[in-house]
Every structure is written in C-alpha cells, then in structure tokens.
Amino acid sequence: MARDPLLRLDAVSKIFDTGTVGLENVDLDIGHGEFVSLLGPSGCGKTTSLRLMAGFEMPTSGRVLLDGQDITALRPYDRPVNTVFQDYALFPHMDVAENVGFGLSLRKLSGADIKRRVTEALELVGLADKIHARVSMLSGGQRQRVALARALVCSPRVLLLDEPLSALDANLREQMQIELKRLQARLGTTFVMVTHDQTEALSISDRIVVMNRGRIEQIATPAELYDAPATRFVANFIGTMNLLEGKVLEATAQTHRIAAGPMTFDIAPCDPGRAPAAGAPALVCIRPEEITVFPAPSDGALPAQVVSTVFYGPMLRVFAEIGGGQKLMIDTPRRTAAAAFEPGALIYVRPNAGCGRMLEP
Ligand SMILES: Nc1ncnc2c1ncn2[C@@H]1O[C@H](COP(=O)(O)OP(=O)(O)OP(=O)(O)O)[C@@H](O)[C@H]1O
Ligand SMILES: [Mg+2]
C-alpha cells in the first residue's frame, strides 16, 4: 500500500463491562477502495470490530484512524462512515424514499437535493421504480437494496456491512454478492463486510481478515488464504484441508522433505532462512483436490482403504485410511467409477506434484 491506509485500527482492544474480551490488540489497515471481509466463527469479534469503526463502541485501548486522523472520540454521525445492519433496520411506517432520505433530512438538505440524491441512490441499486412503495410490501432482496441505498446516499468514505446478505435465500444471496461487488467497484467506495460465510468472503473480497477469539489470525487475498494458510486455525477454517502429522526427514534452504505416515512430501519452504531440524515434528496441509486417486495400482501411488464417500454434485469426496491410521479426504470427479469407492475397497492415492504445505505444529 503506497498511500496511507484509509482506515486503521491501531492496537485496538475492547473489553466489555462484563469482562468479556471482544478484541485483543488488533492492528488492521484498510486501503482506499478496498473490499475487505471480516471472517470468523461466532463470537470472534467481527461485529465488535465493525462497531468500533462506526463509532457505536469505544475501544478500551488503542486508536481508530481515518486518513491518518484520530477519530476514536468522534461520534458515529460525525464519521464519514455508514453501516448496513444485519436486520436492515428500516422504518416500516415510511416509504422507500423516506427511508433512503432519512439521513439527508437530518443533515438539513433542501427537499430538491434530497429527492435528487435519493433517486440516484435507488437507481444505483436498481430500485428506482419502487421509490414510493411501502417498505412492508417489499421482498427480502428489495429491502436489502433499500438498506444499501440508505447507507450509500450520504456518500460515505467507508461502508460497513454486517452480514448484509444473511437473511436472503441461497440463489438471491449469490446474485446479491455479484451485485454488491459490482457496485463497490463502480463507486470505488471502501467496503468492510462482516460474514461468517467463507464462500461469500472468498468470492467477493479483495482481502479477507480471518479472526479468532478477538484476534486476527491472518490477513490475505482469497487465493493466498486458500493456498497458504498461515496457521492451523486458518487451514481448518477455510475450505477443507487434510492436516497430516509428520516429521522432518531432511531440510535444506530449497526443500523440506517430510514424512507423514507412509507419504513423503517435498515442500518448498515459505521461509528459506529457517530450516527446521531433521526429526522435528511438522504438519502437512494438503487439499482433497490436490490428491489423485486411482482404482488400480499406479506409479508412485500408495494403497488406501475407503471408509466412506459423500456426494457433492460435481465431485465425490472419498474418506480413506492410509497406513499408520492416517486419515485422508480426496475429492475426485464423478466420472471415476463409483463402484471403486464402496466402503472397504482398496484404492491408490498420490499427492499431486508440488502440492502440500508445511505448518509448524
Ligand atoms: N455489549 C456486549 N457486552 C458484553 N459482551 C459482548 C457485547 N458485545 C459482544 N460481546 C462479546 O464479545 C465477543 C465478540 O462478539 P461479536 O458480537 O463481535 O462477535 P461476532 O464475531 O460478530 O459473532 P457472530 O458471528 O455471532 O455475530 C463475544 O464473546 C460476545 O459475547
Ligand atoms: Mg456479529
């Protein structure tokens, strides 16, 4: 990031009156025009982070900065930040225009200005024809758009979204994800979105912040997070991962040879300056789709016994056991003969060349 970040959490902690730790010493920089998602299990501090950015919550220690300016003490309405709440928080007795224009009327804009900006905001979210509709007559997806228009109408520098799509059914949700991403790209506004849906975070974010117990585990692009989880928590949380306990056979600056049960991996080290000692314990991460399965013996493939299978539409997930009690998940395209994967069947498995990463246990 060449420029200063737009939004910065600087060593922010939040301890509630109850003694519960909401956030613990969190540092986070969000760039101009970025789409950042906060992802993590329930109670990890996502909403708390968003409320601190919005000004609904004060940190116990640390600072919130916008464009280098300390805004920690600024009230929500004095920050150029707007929030879309999970339940949309629309006023049911007002029509769409009144809902969207509410923030502008508080700012004492003229009626003509309010009308123009409300119309623009509704056009942005594709709801111009519903301007005089009662909110109670709208569908879930339409309400979601009204909430979005209401937050965007004040032209915030940062838009905060707390689980904005969680009330929508799967199809509508997917459609709104695409729309949200398009809208953000078009406006160039910085979006910070809370979600506990990893598919959603992976598909629409520029960067993802993975949180766990009030701390940040990793901040990375979706592809980096998927391909190179930095911690065991992230490896387990993002996608499906085989985590194999093993030990280092030999480690040089170029490659680490690791044995995990009967399998051997040659792994390019992430940090060539830090080779582990031979014999040290190591954890190998490999995705189910990075392992090839054969119904009959094949060069370099190890025998394994099928325990069970799960049908996932485009592919089949095979749960198998290799020697030494090591369990393995393998994803295979469905064209492979299903009969080969009856429980108890013998199959042959081989990690794809260059796949697998090492984590220190
Ligand atoms: N006002 C509050 N008073 C006391 N504890 C709180 C308060 N708000 C949040 N917490 C606690 O702080 C922790 C983080 O809560 P937070 O709402 O940020 O979680 P979250 O990641 O948004 O979870 P979810 O996915 O369930 O919405 C939780 O342990 C929660 O119980
Ligand atoms: Mg929450």
**CATH code of residue 46:** 3.40.50.300
Q: Are residues 132 and 213 in the same domain?
A: yes
DSSP conformational letter for 276:
P
Q: Are residues 127 and 32 in the same domain?
A: yes
Q: Are residues 198 and 247 in the same domain?
A: no
Q: Are residues 145 and 117 in the same domain?
A: yes
Q: Are residues 82 and 129 in the same domain?
A: yes
Compute the distance between CA of residue 175 and CA of residue 189 in angstroms, rounded to an integer.
20
**Residue 212 structural domain:** 7-235
Q: Is residue 1 part of a domain?
A: no
Beta bridge partners of 208: 37, 220
Pairing of strands 263-267, 256-260: antiparallel
**250-257 contacts at long range (C-beta below 8 A, 24 or more positions apart):** 250/278, 251/275, 251/276, 251/277, 251/278, 256/282, 256/358
Where does a domain end: 235, 259, 291?
235
For ligand 1, whether the C-beta of 225 sits within 6 Å is no
For ligand 1, whether the C-beta of 195 sits within 6 Å is no
Structure tokens at 139: 């569908």
Amino acid at 264: T
* Nearest residue to 33 via CA among 156, 210, 184, 164: 184
* Nearest residue to 61 via CA among 22, 30, 18, 29: 22
Q: Are residues 221 and 253 in the same domain?
A: no
Mutate-to-test residue for ligand 1 from 9, 13, 16, highest number of ligand atoms within 8 A of CB: 16
Q: Please state the domain count of the chain.
A: 2
Q: What is the CATH number of the domain that holds 304?
A: 2.40.50.140
pLDDT at residue 101 in the model? 93
pLDDT at residue 164 in the model? 87
pTM: 0.90
pLDDT along the chain (361 residues), means of 10: 84 97 98 97 96 97 97 94 87 92 87 93 91 91 90 93 86 87 93 94 96 97 94 94 93 87 84 79 94 91 94 90 90 76 92 87 67
For ligand 1, whether the C-beta of 44 sits within 6 Å is yes
DSSP alpha helix (H) spans, the chain: 46-54, 96-106, 111-124, 140-152, 170-187, 198-204, 222-227, 232-237
For ligand 1, whether the C-beta of 51 sits within 6 Å is no
Please, what is the end-to-end C-alpha distance for the chain in angstroms?
Answer: 31
Where does a domain end: 235, 257, 276?
235
Measured in Å, residue 194 CA sits from the centre of ligand 2 at 7
CA triple 200-205-208, angle to 5 deg: 95
Q: Are residues 45 and 32 in the same domain?
A: yes
Where does a domain end: 197, 213, 235?
235
Q: Are residues 307 and 195 in the same domain?
A: no
Q: Are residues 221 and 258 in the same domain?
A: no
Tokens 């792994």 sit on residue: 267
Q: Are residues 208 and 269 in the same domain?
A: no
Q: Is residue 178 part of a domain?
A: yes
DSSP conformational letter for 155:
-
Q: Are residues 210 and 148 in the same domain?
A: yes
Atom of ligand 1 nearest to the CA of 50: 18
Q: Are residues 141 and 46 in the same domain?
A: yes
For ligand 1, whether the C-beta of 16 sits within 6 Å is yes
Among all bound ligands, the one having the nearest atom to the CA of 48 is 1
Q: Is residue 117 part of a domain?
A: yes
